[in-house]
């Protein structure tokens, strides 16, 4: 049995976290790490004590809103937003941390992660958001598409 390296280990955790997501369009998971320790996790779904989309249906689908547009018309909170909110709720410092995410963060999440002091973002699945990429290129945040090593 081959032991996973740290990147694979944390990315696999992000995939597990994504299984808790309640979004009907996309299941995203994120893990906040510092010094090889998990600080917080987040997945996309409705805010605390609010009925999830898997019960109410997807407003974005009903209104035929394309992916990547009008993020505010959604009852769900993105995985990265939940990740930072969970860290804040528990008083966990995010400065100098790394995020492992199943999907490339959108522009809103990118701005939040930059302001939270995240140093690196590893993501697996690309998401067409040129503005988010530009902001990351203008910031000091390393932005790396994760690819599992072939055995």
| Residue 78, annotated as binding a ligand | yes
| Residue 53, annotated as binding a ligand | no
* Residue ranges in the chain assigned as alpha helix (H): 6-18, 53-56, 59-62, 79-89, 107-115, 130-138
- Rg (alpha carbons) of the chain, rounded to whole number: 15
Among candidate residues 62, 80, 95, 124, the one labeled active-site is: 80
Residues in contact with 151: Cβ distance below 8 Å, sequence separation at least 6, in sequence order: 2
Instruction: Judge contact between 39 and 55, C-beta under 8 A.
Output: no
| Residue 23, annotated as binding a ligand | no
**Any catalytic annotation for residue 80?**
yes
* Binding annotation for Zn(2+): 78, 106, 109
Q: What are the residue numbers of the active site?
A: 80
């Amino acid at each position: 049995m081959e032991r996973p390296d740290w990147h694979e280990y944390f990315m696999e955790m992000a995939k597990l976290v994504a299984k808790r997501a309640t979004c009907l369009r996309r299941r995203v998971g994120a893990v906040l790490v510092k010094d090889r320790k998990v600080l917080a996790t987040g997945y996309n779904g409705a805010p605390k004590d609010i009925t999830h989309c898997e019960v109410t249906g997807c407003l974005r689908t009903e209104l035929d809103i394309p992916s990547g547009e009008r993020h505010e018309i959604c009852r769900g909170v993105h995985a990265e937003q939940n990740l930072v909110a969970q860290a804040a709720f528990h008083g966990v410092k995010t400065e100098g941390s790394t995020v492992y995410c199943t999907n490339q963060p959108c522009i809103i999440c990118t701005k939040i992660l930059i302001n939270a002091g995240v140093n690196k973002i590893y993501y697996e699945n690309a998401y067409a958001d040129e503005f988010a990429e530009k902001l990351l290129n203008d910031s000091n945040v390393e932005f790396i598409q994760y690819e599992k090593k072939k055995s």
